[in-house]
Structure 1
């Protein structure tokens, strides 16, 4: 081979997502230039340092005879932490384990009363602050419950109910011990009920069903039990092992019954223990950018104890814990297992579901965060760039002709931005329209966002503000640059409008609509206007200025004609109907004969699905 790239004999090469040809070359002890040449021979234009998609790397590996293994994000992170001698999965000495409170996730269909139930449990009013009564963020709270003469703690995670938040709900199921599935007694099992149930089953956690709204008209708790039996949740009273509790969150009926069911399920099905000593690690439940306090993250400690002053890494953010607050904004000095706290002092907002851990010192925390950021960026670059083949190079030059909607997403919390992006990426849109999300972030819309939007190569990008606004100067700059900013407080409104905008960018599709046919019975020659066809309208109507084609013995002999003039007897006519005679000319086309058939039709815009 001219390029001199070594050939593998089925050896396995492990590479992270977004690896470059240089990374591949290092693994097989080759010259990066030889791999560039190999890719060129395969019809791919790839530079040595460009982030490659999984498909590109697999194509090259197969060509060279190597077995390629793409390292999963979890393994990638594990390998990164191993470089710093951190092992989050290490076995814990049983002597160090202490019992911890259960972490409970509240799930269910939109408007079935999940947040109302948490309200009743905490005797607070979270719902009033939510747009349209729909929970838009993940919230985590710890409550104290008296059970069998003991004070017990339970941690609750409230997950949003709309289907667009599937990604966030899935993360809720990953950190939870028990799921409370809220089903309205008057509505029964709905699509998101099944979706939430699937998340809980995938996480292999026990489920307690809270049958809500038992005091409203049309409530039928027995029907809910029957419906859920089809999905494998059989009530204890029917001989199953799932606890069903009939409640009314609004009227505060039987709320203690739910808490008791949670604790009984925890004691019967789970051994909830964790080491309380040692460095803390856990999961970031939510994050947002606070105007006065900077990046703020709600974290759930899973092992160890988190202290004020610890050096921590959360996702791609790092920093020293400047302060910790509980759900009532009271300062907390330390947080043990199953304790959710608000952490201040990070350099960046973590994503919902990112792991956090305590590092030895600030330097280690910074290095881990920077390497996570670099790997994340490489993976993102690989897929934003796409595969450039030699065949499509010229097409890419013409890409400007393709309708593209570029978006910048800004939201108040990371989970909402992530969920919005996830929903938009899954939109079913035709190939001739592209959706590009060029940036997403947490916090108010800034001048940088507007500058980025106006500098986009496709066209000016649109900025989507989800529960955030643009301040005075930023608004003025957006007006000057012609950048559109749209504000939303409910996620599905944003999705519907963006989908409508994408479909509006499509070039209209037209379909042919036949008006009628006419048979030529006589041909009259005119020195002034050419041949005139004397016709009988056989079906429909013949309309002046309509498009036409000429058929002879069933075959089309002329296309792209138009009916230039139309007369009924001696008068000009706009249209002539079936069964009547008429005279017409075909816009300068004179090759007509007796017996020919003229089809006339018009092109009508086709509504898109």
Structure 2
């Protein structure tokens, strides 16, 4: 027997994946995930353990039935006799027709049933009697919450997250253009949609549900990392799992790298789908090797990245992909309470010429009903109609269900969180409160950015500096990455989330805003629209033409919470020889530089005799009619210190603050 994947063995022996992992942990076997492989001798040992558990479970069940029969028989007697009573005289005589118990032999101890097979075994060894048999759970069986079980919440009572029912996973598909994202979704639609739906899935609902052997899977039909991150930027995480589609004949491309970076920033589990394996030029091994360059190591190479070869055209491998999605969801233990307070996220919104404003909502918690009032940002509406992903009208929708709702008067923004209100009055109050809070914030707020300490953590801990790198050529990108790798230490980790060629894009800004990253550009500059977007989101974009300046900036980021030390550095001085009156700039000091140099924006100190009469800044510096940055010794210049009381004979001394390099 060759190596076997853990989940395959679990299916073969009839136990759940969680139970299989428990057995492996008990044996001390190391693994990455349920899709890892195990050796032949381990497989045989596990089969033996599961068989023994099954036998113990069957014995416990038989003993429990015997116990119940014995208890029922004893209850027909006028008085129950404890098997621990030693004196025969104390035992009441049985009623006529009843069989008398043997006076010298006590009933055999009855093994105690338990939910876990291991507990059942130990209880049976101790011989603890029970009066009420407990329903035995088969090895690996997962007991779902039920309002009929003792101790579980009754209908209408919100359940704790750990006891809430499991929900379907929500999956998004991302990747490079033309690598087959849409084709893969289309194949899953055609093969996994319930029979009888005329015309298949309607295209205007931004998600669809696939029925698989492992249960329901919800796919967000808005592939693209920009949309994915836009939703996250508004504080909402919709997807539980990200599928990165890579063409087997093309390998990693710029948008592939971007998609991976966005999924990593969202901290959602990733599954790689290598598509187009049916092509003659397909090379899946090349894709796997290229992934290792991004520190993504496939399982077969000893890592923990799930990689599934598929063909969206023939369907090869698609069942395996769905299986891996279900396995990942099982390990993530996704739960939601359909009886809890409603919450959801807007996937997309639009205006239909006939119906009006339509919004697609992903229900995350609770249940949505027709007639409910929904609040999205500073908008609200009452649900007049709901359509499921198959295009059918429905009256309610539970967790992990995408629905298109009719009832908003304005189009809500994608990624906005959705809340419910008891009635229209409560909805209006919530909207007005949000609008008031926004106005107060806008009026009082001075935009603040994260301090380095907030961004990278306190000293003494391992700090991570998130960077996005853009350069003019691939050679420059690789050279800078090599330099950055040497800058890392035990205390600071440089995380280059994405490195690409060309100017930074709006997608880079979105990624930086959600991951608190700095965008570094070498020999390339952002477009005006990207700059404006970065300013609005508080993202730093820094451009450099000299490599050493870029490295100096990285050094400043690495210093993190270390407070920089500055000192005043003397630059030079000039003597005022005439005053020039200017209608706009005020009085300009016609001066002669006697020592050092003067720089624009340097600190200025004006002395008259031995007294300092002014301290400020050199706001303007001219040579004849030209504005200049610096004037050296022996040259005349015009100095504007934004102070009209400067006089002939005054001395203007210039200095600047410089950071002290600490050892």
TM-score range for the pair, normalised by the shorter chain length: 0.3 to 0.5
Specify which structure has the bigger relative contact order, considering alpha-carbon pairs within 8 angstroms and separated by 6 or more residues. 1
Q: Could you say which structure has the higher strand fraction?
A: 1
TM-score, normalised by the number of residues in structure 2: 0.41
Higher-Rg member (1/2): 2
TM-score, normalised by the number of residues in structure 1: 0.44
